[in-house]
Structure 1
Amino acid sequence: MVFEGSSAALSHTGKVRSNNQDSGYAGSNLFVVADGMGGHAGGDVASSLAVTRLEDLDRAFTTTSEAERALQSAVTDAAQDLISTVRARPELAGMGTTVSALIMVDDYAVIAHIGDSRIYLFRDGALTQITTDHTFVQRLVDSGRITVEEARYHPRRSVLMRVLGDQDPDPEIDTFIMPTQPGDRWLLCSDGLSGVVDDAHSSKALGLGLAPGRTADLLLKQALDAGAPDNVTIVIVDVGGAHPVFSGTPTIVGSASNPRGVEVPAARAGRAGWLHAARVAANEPTHFEPAPEFLEELIEEDKRRARRRRIGWIVGLLVVLAAFAAGLFAAYQWTQTRYFVGADDDTVVIFRGIQQDIGPISLSSPYEDTGLALDSLSDFNRATVEATIPASSLAEAEEIVARLESVSGGGQ
């Protein structure tokens, strides 16, 4: 459903860093943002390798399930590429990258995601974050320890819980399929945008109706105006009409756009660090694997919160059941303040309760057998008694029996 010219990609180093470790891709069917990490060279290589591995998926797929399997396999293969590269160049150990990728298949978007780059959907004037950040602070938000606003400024907001790296050959990747429709606008971005430009401003820019390229420029300006401490990569995809597969040249930005981007650079001389301290500082990785104490703290908090949730559900259920039981008991007690006159075999009986039953449960019981024989009543009175005569109190029931006795034996 994507037309040529209806997508755009750009990547910027930002105002602090001196090299761009992000990579972006906007093709015919495939759209990707990868945010590399791992120091001066590692991040460049990692994001470039990921995009290069995914490029082969920029083609037509028969079904969404086929595209989803291909996307899952390609991202896993990218992890293998990182592992192989680190084996060849141990000085790149620790490099990694996020991957947020989208393949259009007819009226559907097939998505794969790992890390804290994001995919948003702008539809009918509303911006919705589709992917979930695999970060330490997102876990804190999910567990209720901090708010979404607090997460934006948390000192550990860049600590990743999941990333495509050189350690795990089988990373846990989120994949899913979503329907899309004409008028939808998809935004893929690194945290260089989402970390400094809030959703309200992004939504306003996306809703201006500008072409994807101009919209991406506007979003980049907002990030730069906010200081842009990290690399900024933006891919925008507009959806509309039938989905032709065109053969236009894809737009590749960031590290992957450099023909040498996927080449492993030579190790730097030992003195480079202190000779260019400011430059090296600008290239320190922005993402770190969480220290064990943070993971343990989070795991324990999650366990405690899970226990509190279970206890809360149990207590809530018991309260509801108790209230229901109390209601039933109160209703039953009320029925026992009511009386009616009826028949039991061959005599007139005063019953306590009401005439209705609830399944096998009777809401009445004999209170007093009056000894008044049914045969002594007129046909009309006997039929009336057998049909039961309600009374609002015991005294009223006794009055009814007294009237029946006074006329018993007559009217045969």
Structure 2
Amino acid sequence: MVFQGSSAAISHTGKVRSNNQDSGYAGSNLFVVADGMGGHAGGDVASALVIHRLEHLDDDPFASPTVAERALRDAIADSATELIDTVGRRPELAGMGTTVSALLMVDDLAVIAHIGDSRIYLYRDGSLTQITTDHTFVQRLVDSGRITPEEARYHPRRSVLMRVLGDMDPDPELDTFIMPTQPGDRWLLCSDGLSGVVDDAHTQKALAAGNAPGRTADTLLKQALDGGAPDNVTIVLVDVGGAHPVFTGTATIVGSASHPAGIEVPAARPGRTSWLHPNRQAANEPTHFEPDADFLEELIEEDRRRARRRRVGWIVGLVLVLGMLATAGVMAYQWTQTRYFIGADEDTVVIYQGIQQDIGPISLSTPYEDTGIALDDLPSFTRSTVERTISADSLEAAEVIVDRLRDTAEAYG
């Protein structure tokens, strides 16, 4: 059955890279995002090759979602075989690969296939849910509870893929599953150029606005560009039913798959640098790679060392803060001991050292001298003033006040 709804696809090079290695596809029933990797030309070829290998599924009438799931899995496996054959003909492209996140609509069900760190989200009833799981090193750390999802966004190894469609494995390990969908659902497929820059809260807000898929995709792209867009950005947005026009016409292909050069396996151009852009060439190097077992162990050990350094840093920071607080407390107490005030004990006038305040059970003053002046010898107003305490900036000032009180007591007596 032809999918009833509307869709849009958009792809942008971003603000750092000089070429687009992403590809995207939005058809009648099939929707795909592929994020290529492997150098200047290799990523272009890998993502474009996958799109063109899968696009025939768009028009196939499937007897059931299970049949469609098998066909989608087989087509992606065939793409892996073609990548291997391509590298055999062009050895300079060795190491190229791509992520694949594909959505195939069959009746009211969504057939999903996924490998890598591109993502599929579902926005339903005001809530955004990430449907696919990233096949990355940091996601493994998140799953094991060693880091938080927020820490994963800024982890220095966040681009290390544990699974990818590449030129080494003819039988890639895919995630495939079938989900029900319903009118009003909004499906978002995107490369990490979007999800790595725009957080889920802003993505949800854009999807909740209810604009047409094309305008919504433009909004998300603008947010990625405003965030710096260090990588290619590809977005495919799919609305199930809804008020916007139903898809008609030919499929929309974006990114490297939209250019014949993406399939013709162009030779890589030499990188250029200048004193104005010294890091430009480095920005075009592959940021994703699939580690072997030995390197993975090195990454795990590196993360353990980082965790230990983080704990030591917290402990050192805590000790420094406590030390600073203790030093400030000592200095504050020493300052209070430079102050004096006149007060009363049970029946006489007393000079106190410190200030007229307490911190919990800690008194900030101590009796310095009992003057021997009886409270009963003072006029009632003067006695009341002493009982409320009289501040003095120094011991000398306190002694002057005491002399006046003694004179008053003698005169009153």
- Give 1:290 shift: 2.7
Residue 292 of structure 1, CA deviation: 4.5
1:2 positional shift: 3.4
Q: Could you tell me whether the CA contact under 8 Å between 2:34 and 2:99 is conserved in 1?
A: yes
C-alpha displacement of 1:10: 0.2
Assess if the C-alpha contact under 8 Å between 2:187 and 2:238 holds in 1: yes
Matches within 5 A, 1:192-231: 192-231=193-232
Q: What do residues 339-360 of structure 1 show as CA deviations (whole Å, max 9, x unaligned)?
A: xxxxxxxxxxxxxxxxxxxxxx
Map Cα deviations across residues 47-102 of structure 1 (whole Å, 9 max, x no partner). Answer: 00010100011023221001000000000000001000000000000000000000
CA-CA distance at 1:278 after TM superposition: 4.7
Matched-pair contact (CA < 8 Å) for 2:46–2:98: yes
Q: 2:247, 2:193 → 1: CA distance?
A: 31
Query: What TM-score results when the alignment is normalised by the length of structure 2?
Result: 0.68
Alpha-carbon distance in structure 2 between the residues aligned to 1:65 and 1:208: 34
3-state DSSP of counterpart to 1:47: helix
Instruction: Report how far residue 175 of structure 1 moved.
Output: 0.3
Q: Please list the CA deviations of residues 15-38 of structure 1 after superposition, one character each: whole Å capped at 9, or x if unmatched.
A: 000000000000000000000000
Alignment of 1:80-95 (within 5 A): 80-95=81-96
Cα shift at 1:265? 1.2
Kindly report which structure 2 residues correspond to 1:6-405, keeping only aligned pairs within 5 A, or say none.
6-59=6-59, 60-240=61-241, 248-266=249-267, 268=269, 272-273=270-271, 278-290=279-291, 292-296=293-297
TM-score with structure 1 setting the length:
0.68
- Residue 275 of structure 1 deviates from its aligned partner by 6.2
Assess if the C-alpha contact under 8 Å between 2:272 and 2:280 holds in 1: no
Cα 1:301–1:21 shift into 2, 3 Å: closer
> Would the aligned equivalents of 1:136 and 1:156 in 2 still touch at CA under 8 Å?
yes
Q: Does structure 2 conserve the Cα–Cα contact (< 8 Å) formed by 1:33 and 1:188?
A: yes
- Partners of 2:302 and 2:171 in 1: CA distance: 27
1:126 and 1:261 mapped to 2: Cα distance?
Answer: 37
Give the distance between the partners of 1:301 and 1:69, measured in 2 at CA.
Answer: 39
Give the secondary structure class of the aligned counterpart of 1:19. coil
AA at the equivalent of 2:44:
D
- Determine the C-alpha separation between the residues in 2 that align with 1:21 and 1:84: 20
Post-superposition CA distance 1:281-332 (Å, at most 9, x none): 2310111223655522677999xxxxxxxxxxxxxxxxxxxxxxxxxxxxxx
Aligned equivalent of 2:332 = none
Is 277-286 or 107-116 further displaced after alignment?
A: 277-286
Contact 1:40 1:280 in 2 (8 A): no
| Distance of 1:266 and 1:141 partners within structure 2 | 39
- Contact 2:41-2:267 within 8 A present in 1 as well: no
Question: Deviations 1:126-157 (Å, cap 9, x if unpaired)?
Answer: 00000000000000000111000000000000
Tell me whether 1:3 sits opposite 2:4 in the alignment.
yes
One-letter identity of the residue aligned with 1:40: H
The offset of 1:246, in angstroms, is 7.1
Contact between 2:33 and 2:102, CA under 8 Å: does it hold in 1? yes
Cα 1:129/1:83, change in 2 over 3 Å: same
Aligned CA distance change for structure 1 residues 45 and 209 (closer, same or farther; 3 Å): same
Deviations 1:184-227 (A, max 9, x none): 00000000000000000000000001000000000000000000
Is the CA contact (8 Å cut-off) linking 1:189 and 1:233 kept in structure 2? yes
- Contact 1:115 1:134 (C-alpha < 8 Å) held by counterparts: yes
The amino acid that maps onto 1:189 is: C
C-alpha separation in 2, matches of 1:153 and 1:293: 24
Preserved CA contact (<8 Å) 1:2 1:237: no
Which runs of 5 or more residues in structure 2 are unaligned?
304-413
The worse-fitting range, judged by mean Cα deviation, of 112-121 and 59-68 is 59-68
> Does the CA-based 8 Å contact 1:98-1:114 persist in structure 2?
yes
For residues 197 and 223 of structure 1, the distance between their equivalents in structure 2, rounded to whole angstroms, comes to 6
Offset, 1:280 = 2.7
Cα 1:232–1:275 shift into 2, 3 Å = closer
Q: 1:191 to 1:275 in 2, by over 3 A?
A: closer
Number of residue equivalences? 296
The residue that corresponds to 1:375 in the other structure is: none
Q: CA RMSD in A?
A: 2.2
Aligned letter for 1:196?
V
The structure-2 alpha-carbon separation of the partners of 1:160 and 1:180, relative to structure 1 and needing over 3 Å to count, comes to same
Secondary structure of 2:161's partner?
A: coil
Q: 1:85 to 1:148 in 2, by over 3 A?
A: same
Q: CA deviation at 1:260?
A: 2.2
Deviations 1:96-131 (A, max 9, x none): 000000000011000000000000000000000000
Q: Which amino acid aligns with 1:45?
A: V
- How far apart are residue 264 of structure 1 and its match? 1.1
